[in-house]
Amino acid sequence: MSFTPDFLDELRARLPLSDVVGRRVKLIRRGREHSGLCPFHNEKTPSFTVNDDKSFYHCFGCGAHGDVIKFVMETEGLSFPETIERLAEQAGLAIPESRPEDRERSAQRKSLLDVMELVARWYESQLRSQQGQEGLSYLRHRGLKDETIKRFRLGYAPAGRTALKDSLLARDGITEEMLVAAGMLIQPEEANKDSYDRFRHRVMFPICDRQGRIVAFGGRALDKDARAKYLNSPETTLFHKGRLLYNLDKARKAAFDHQRLLVAEGYMDVIALAQAGFSEAVAPLGTAVTEEQIGEMWRLTPEPTLCFDGDKAGQRAALRVVDRALPLLKPGYSLRFLHLPEGEDPDSFVQGQGQAAFEDLLAQSKPLADVLWRGLVSDAGAGGIETPEQRAGLEQKVYKRLNEIRDEKLKGYYRTDYRKRLISLLGDVASPAGGRAARWSQGKGGRYLSGNPSKLKQGYGVQGVREQSLRRERLLLLVMINHPELLDSYQEELAALDFRTTELDNLRSEIIRITNRDSDLERESLIRHLENNGYAKALEIIFEQGVSKLERYAWPDASLTDAAQGFMDTMNLHRRVQLEEELAQLEKELADQLTPENFARLQALKAEIEQASG
C-alpha cells in the first residue's frame, strides 16, 4: 500500500506531535517546545524534546529523531501501513486507495501550486502597471508602505472579464482546466458559455498554507457598488478555508519568539499590525473561527488573543468564538479577548495611535472565563435577576454551559470559579456546584460555615465544630503533600473544596500551582518549595497533626491506594458534615419563614446529604 505525499502531509498537519507523544511520555511545555524523558533510552534528566511547529522530536541523549509517523512505528512496533491506518483514524481522515488516480491527483495538486505561484506573480506585476494604479493608490491610502506591499505580495486583478485567463493561457503548460480547478476561473453551468476571471477590479491578497505555498486568494473590491466587498477563492483541492489562517506561514516564528498570537478579523488588520511591529498576527478567512483553526492557534501559543471591534457586532462575534472553543478547552490552553474602542479596528487603531498604545490595549485583554461570564450575566440581566425564579434560571444556565467543557479537571476549576462569582452576584443563596446553598460567616481565622444547632446540643459548640473541620482540611492537604502524585487524579476535588481559613486556601492554591508547573515534583521538593514561599508554619501545624495511627493513609510510607482511599473517605466525611450544618441552618430558617423556595432548598439538600452518605 502506498500513500501520496499530500495525504501524509495532511496527516502530520492534523495531529499535533505533542498530543501523540504525550500519550506515552509525560511532557512539560518549555517555551516553544515540550520536553520529557526519552522513551528510546533510560535517562533521569529530560533530554527529549518535541516541536509541534516543526513537527519533529529529537533526543539530545541518544539522537532519536523523527516525525509523528516514525514515533508511532518505533514505540508501538507497527508497520508503516498499520501506523498510517492508526493515525488516520485518530485524525478523522479516510485513507485513500492506492490507485493510479490517487497518484494523478497528487501530481495535479503539485501542478496547481505552480499555477497559483504564476497567478500571484502576474497580480503583483499588474499592481505596478498603469491599469493597477487605482489599486496601488488604495493600498497607500490605507497607510501601507511599499516594503509591506512587497512582503505580503499584494497585487491587482484587472477589470477585464478575461484578463488573467488570456495572459496565462498564452503560457506553455497552463490550461483552462487547471485555472478552473485552482478556483481562478468560473466555468458557467450553461453549455456554450465561456469561462471568465473570478476576480476582477480587486486588490489581491495571496493566501498561503503553513509551508508558505500560495493556495488561494482574497480580493477587495475597488468598485463601491460591488456585490461583495471581499471575495475569497472557493474550496479547491488546495484550499480549505476552515483549516487555514491568513498569514500563518509568516506569523509562526514571531508567535514563538513573542510567546503570543494575535487573531484579527481581516487581511488589512493583519497587515497593518505586522507593519507596526506585530508580526505574530493572523486572521480567519471570511468565516467564523473553526475548531481546526483554534487547534492551529494552540500549536503556536497556549493562549492566543482574539481582537474584535468594540461594537455590539464584535461582542457577538467574540461570544460565538467562546461557544466554539468551550468544548475544546484543556489544561493550559484557552483564549483571550480584546475589544477595541468603539469605532476602531486593529488597522485604524494601530495606524492612528501607534505600537505602544496597542501594547497597552493588549494588556487589558480578558480571559475566556471573563468573556463567558459577562455574556451569561448580560443575557440574564436583560430578563432580570430579581426574582427567585430568575436567579435560579441564571444559575441553571451557568452550570449547563460549564457542562460543555469536556475536560473534567478543567470543568471542576470553572465550577469553583463560577460558584464564587454567583455568590458575589446573587448573595449567599447561590448554589455551589449547582446543587446546595452556602451560608458563610467571617471570623478572625477566615471564612467558615455558620454554626449547626444540632452540634451545639451535642456539646461541640461552634468552636469545636470549626476545629474538627480544620483538622480534616489539614489532613486532606497532608495527603497531597506526602503523595503529590495523587494530584493528577484528585486535583478537581481539592480545587473545589472551600477552606475555612485564608492560609489553608492559599496553601492549597500554591500546591496545585507548583504541581501543575512541574508534574514530576517529588515530596521533598514540594515541601522545600512551600517552605521557601512562606508556608513553613502552616506545614509545621499540618505535620504535627498527622501522627495518629488512625491516619496512616496520610503518612509518606502509605501506599498510593491507601492514600487515595483515605483522601476520598475524609473528603466525603467533610462534605457530609458541611451539608448537615447547612441543613440545620436551613431548618431554622424554615421555622421562621416557610416559603416554597426554602422548602425546595430543603428537599434538595436532604437529597444531596443522602447521596453523600451513600
Residue 455 has pLDDT above 60, yes or no: no
Categorize the per-residue pLDDT at 448 as very low, low, confident or very high, splitting at 50, 70 and 90. very low
Residue 211 has pLDDT above 90, yes or no: no
**For a pLDDT cut of 70, what percent of the chain falls above it?**
84
- Specify if 499 maps to a domain: yes
Candidates 527, 435, 440, 529; CA nearest to 477 is: 527
Same-domain pairing of 188 and 210? yes
Residue 442 has pLDDT above 50, yes or no: no
Mean pLDDT is lowest, of 291-295, 342-346, 467-471, 519-523, for: 519-523
Q: What is the mean pLDDT of residues 349-378?
A: 93
237 vs 384, more confident: 237
Best mean pLDDT range from 57-61, 254-258, 486-490, 508-512: 57-61
Categorize the per-residue pLDDT at 518 as very low, low, confident or very high, splitting at 50, 70 and 90. low
Give the C-alpha separation, 186 to 98, whole Å.
Answer: 31
* Count of alpha carbons within 13 angstroms of residue 443, beta-carbon side: 14
Residue 594 has pLDDT above 80, yes or no: no
**β-strand 155-157 against 202-208: which pairing, if any?**
antiparallel
Residue 134 has pLDDT above 90, yes or no: yes
Residue 443 has pLDDT above 50, yes or no: no
Q: How much is the pLDDT for 1?
A: 54
pTM of the model as a whole:
0.61
Residue 515 has pLDDT above 70, yes or no: yes
295 vs 498, more confident: 295
Same-domain pairing of 55 and 183? no
Inter-residue contact 18 to 69 (CB < 8 Å): no
Mean pLDDT is lowest, of 36-45, 129-138, 277-286, for: 36-45
Q: What is the mean pLDDT of residues 427-438?
A: 46
Q: What is the mean pLDDT of residues 226-253?
A: 91
Same-domain pairing of 389 and 503? no
**For a pLDDT cut of 90, what percent of the chain falls above it?**
36
Residue 481 has pLDDT above 70, yes or no: yes
295 vs 428, more confident: 295
pLDDT, one tens digit per residue, over 104-128 is 666 677 789 999 999 999 999 999 9
Inter-residue contact 18 to 27 (CB < 8 Å): yes
- Specify if 440 maps to a domain: no
Report the CATH number that the domain containing residue 282 is assigned in CATH.
3.40.1360.10
Same-domain pairing of 294 and 166? no
- Specify if 559 maps to a domain: yes
37 vs 431, more confident: 37
Q: Which domain holds residue 410?
A: 384-435
Give the C-alpha separation, 442 to 450, whole Å.
Answer: 9
pLDDT, one tens digit per residue, over 212-225 is 899 999 999 999 88
Which DSSP string do the residues of 138-182 spell out, in sequence order? HHHHTT--HHHHHHTT-EEE-SSTTHHHHHHHTSTT--HHHHHHT
Same-domain pairing of 585 and 477? yes
521 vs 157, more confident: 157
Q: Compute the 3-state secondary structure of the chain and give helix, strand, coil in percent, each to the nearest 5.
A: 55, 10, 35
pLDDT, one tens digit per residue, over 520-567 is 678 888 888 888 888 888 888 888 765 555 677 888 888 888 888 888
Given 202, 232, 262, the domain boundary residue is 232
Backbone φ and ψ of 448, nearest 5°: -150, 160
Q: How much is the pLDDT for 99?
A: 57
Q: How much is the pLDDT for 484?
A: 87
Which DSSP string do the residues of 549-582 spell out, in sequence order? GGGGGGSTTS-HHHHHHHHHHHHHHHHHHHHHHH
Q: How much is the pLDDT for 459?
A: 38
Give the C-alpha separation, 246 to 206, whole Å.
Answer: 9
Residues with Cβ within 8 Å of 373's Cβ and at least 6 positions away in sequence, in order, are 418, 421
Q: How much is the pLDDT for 461?
A: 46
Q: How much is the pLDDT for 587?
A: 72
Candidates 109, 77, 113, 80; CA nearest to 95 is: 80
- Specify if 486 maps to a domain: yes
Q: What is the mean pLDDT of residues 415-423?
A: 87
* Count of alpha carbons within 13 angstroms of residue 595, beta-carbon side: 8
Q: How much is the pLDDT for 542?
A: 84
- Specify if 172 maps to a domain: yes
pLDDT, one tens digit per residue, over 4-22 is 777 888 888 888 899 899 8
Report the CATH number that the domain containing residue 590 is assigned in CATH.
1.10.860.10
Residues with Cβ within 8 Å of 197's Cβ and at least 6 positions away in sequence, in order, are 157, 160, 161, 162, 163, 164, 165, 184, 185, 186
Burial zone of 30 (CB within 10 Å; 0-12 exposed, 13-18 middle, 19+ buried): exposed
Same-domain pairing of 368 and 392? no
Same-domain pairing of 473 and 361? no
Q: What is the mean pLDDT of residues 88-92?
A: 83
Mean pLDDT is lowest, of 108-112, 179-183, 598-602, for: 598-602
Q: How much is the pLDDT for 452?
A: 37
Give the C-alpha separation, 301 to 296, whole Å.
Answer: 9
Same-domain pairing of 146 and 199? yes
Same-domain pairing of 120 and 220? yes
Given 232, 258, 277, the domain boundary residue is 232
Categorize the per-residue pLDDT at 74 as very low, low, confident or very high, splitting at 50, 70 and 90. confident
Report the CATH number that the domain containing residue 159 is assigned in CATH.
3.90.980.10
pLDDT, one tens digit per residue, over 324-333 is 999 999 988 9
Same-domain pairing of 163 and 286? no
Q: How much is the pLDDT for 76?
A: 75
Q: How many Cβ atoms from other residues are within 10 Å of residue 214's Cβ?
A: 22
Helices and strands (DSSP H and E) totals, the chain = 25, 18
Amino acid at 603: Q
Mean pLDDT across the chain, nearest whole number? Answer: 83
Q: What is the mean pLDDT of residues 200-216?
A: 93
Categorize the per-residue pLDDT at 253 as very low, low, confident or very high, splitting at 50, 70 and 90. confident
Same-domain pairing of 471 and 588? yes
Report the CATH number that the domain containing residue 81 is assigned in CATH.
3.90.580.10
Provide the number of structural domains found in the chain. Answer: 5
Q: How much is the pLDDT for 104?
A: 63
Grid coordinates representing 228? 461583495
- Specify if 442 maps to a domain: no
Categorize the per-residue pLDDT at 276 as very low, low, confident or very high, splitting at 50, 70 and 90. very high
Categorize the per-residue pLDDT at 440 as very low, low, confident or very high, splitting at 50, 70 and 90. very low
Given 69, 91, 113, the domain boundary residue is 91
Same-domain pairing of 26 and 161? no
Categorize the per-residue pLDDT at 596 as very low, low, confident or very high, splitting at 50, 70 and 90. low
Q: How much is the pLDDT for 158?
A: 96
- Specify if 275 maps to a domain: yes
